[in-house]
Amino acid sequence: MLSRRNLLLGMIAVAGTRPEQALAARQDPKVKLAVDRALDYLVRTQKRQGYWEANGGQYRVAMTALAGTALLCEGSTANRGKYAKTVRLAVDYLVDMSQPNGLIGYEKDYHYTYGHGFSMLFLSQVFGEEEGAERRKRLQQVLTKAVEFSGFAQTTRGGWGYVSAKDGGDFDEGSTCITQVQGLRACRNAGIPVSKEIIDRAKQYIKDCTTTEGGVQYSIRGGGARPPITAAAVAAMYSAGEYDESEHVNKMREFCRDAIWPGQSGNANYFGHWHYTHYYYAQVMYRNADEWPEYFSFISRQILPKQNASGAWKEGHIGDVYTTAINATILQLDNGYVPIYQR
């Protein structure tokens, strides 16, 4: 089986450019240094049991999946690469967190759908690279059950809440819906069966949450159009196979251009949920090759100066692991190693 790195380098070689030169040419040394320091910080802060955590010991499953994905973006897998041991520990922790009902996480966590969705995304990317027969079989079992749980947790309107529809009184909201859609699509792309009906209902939920201006509201019940959720919704729709040719997606893109970048608020310093917003908006911009260089120049100028001497970004109330994993992922999208983020 070809690794993602070997496959990518082979494609570049076919184009007539030496792979190492082509990869190096598009990496600013300052960006590479910042990423190396960030990933080394994540390695140092991983707990012995394989997890990371947010402030106050919270969100272990979500932080582990996000940090693990940032390491995958470097090109390492659970089997090979500089961070193979760290990735493998993260995989083992999340596999151990898989419950009999398919939930990856703690049922006592009142935001467990975030961790579940991020874990589906991370583990499905690992699954495609796993060479060990037993580990691959176990990952397949975990992801198959995880997909089943997501289907069970979906609300009657097609969205998701912080917990399953049953546990949360059928409440749903936009950000958790996006996490589930990306996780489900990542599983499907990796060969795990996912019902088309689940994805179609989720896409309809996003459309039903969209205002006439193109912004996506907090919930189908209202709450006003929110730029962070709109950016995430566009990324989710891209993952679900809808691009700018879709009138609905194009309208959301226009809203993001005005509200996030290059609109005035996007060029300001930080705003509410800035990291969350650009985690998803960077995925959107990366899929638009013509706009990506200018956007990346903007976003890297925002990110790099704020890195701490430890290699972390110490911003926001969730914690250093969260902001560091997100920033490292954004800065590495151009590596093209993680299938769900690829063009």
How large a percentage of the chain has pLDDT more than 70?
90
**Cα separations (Å) of 150 from 101, 114, 203?**
10, 11, 15
At 332, the pLDDT band (50, 70, 90 cuts) reads very high
Question: Is the pLDDT at 19 greater than 60, yes or no?
Answer: no
Question: Is the pLDDT at 49 greater than 60, yes or no?
Answer: yes
At 50, the pLDDT band (50, 70, 90 cuts) reads very high
pLDDT at site 338? 95
Q: What is the pLDDT of residues 74-91, one digit of tens each?
A: 999 999 999 999 999 999
Could you tell me which of 129, 124, 136 has the C-alpha nearest to residue 189? 124
Spans of all domains in the chain: 27-341
Q: What average pLDDT does the segment 304-331 reach?
A: 97
pLDDT at site 270? 52
Q: What average pLDDT does the segment 142-168 reach?
A: 97
Question: Is the pLDDT at 303 greater than 60, yes or no?
Answer: yes
Multiple choice CATH, 27-341, 3.40.50.720, 1.10.540.10, 3.40.50.2300, 1.50.10.20: 1.50.10.20
Question: Is the pLDDT at 114 greater than 80, yes or no?
Answer: yes
Scored b (16 or more CB within 10 A) or e, 125-150 reads bbbbbbeeeebeebbbebbebbbebb
Contact between 61 and 90 (Cβ < 8 Å): no
Question: Is the pLDDT at 262 greater than 80, yes or no?
Answer: yes
Q: What is the pLDDT of residues 90-110, one digit of tens each?
A: 999 999 999 999 999 998 898
At 14, the pLDDT band (50, 70, 90 cuts) reads very low
Question: How does the average pLDDT of the chain come out, rounded?
Answer: 91
Question: Is the pLDDT at 266 greater than 90, yes or no?
Answer: no
Separation CA 230–CA 237 (nearest Å): 10
pLDDT at site 27? 73
Place of tokens 């019902």: 195
Q: What is the pLDDT of residues 269-296, one digit of tens each?
A: 456 699 999 999 999 999 999 999 999 9
How large a percentage of the chain has pLDDT more than 90?
83
pLDDT at site 7? 46
Question: Is the pLDDT at 267 greater than 70, yes or no?
Answer: no
Q: What average pLDDT does the segment 206-212 reach?
A: 96
Question: Is the pLDDT at 301 greater than 60, yes or no?
Answer: yes
pLDDT at site 20? 39
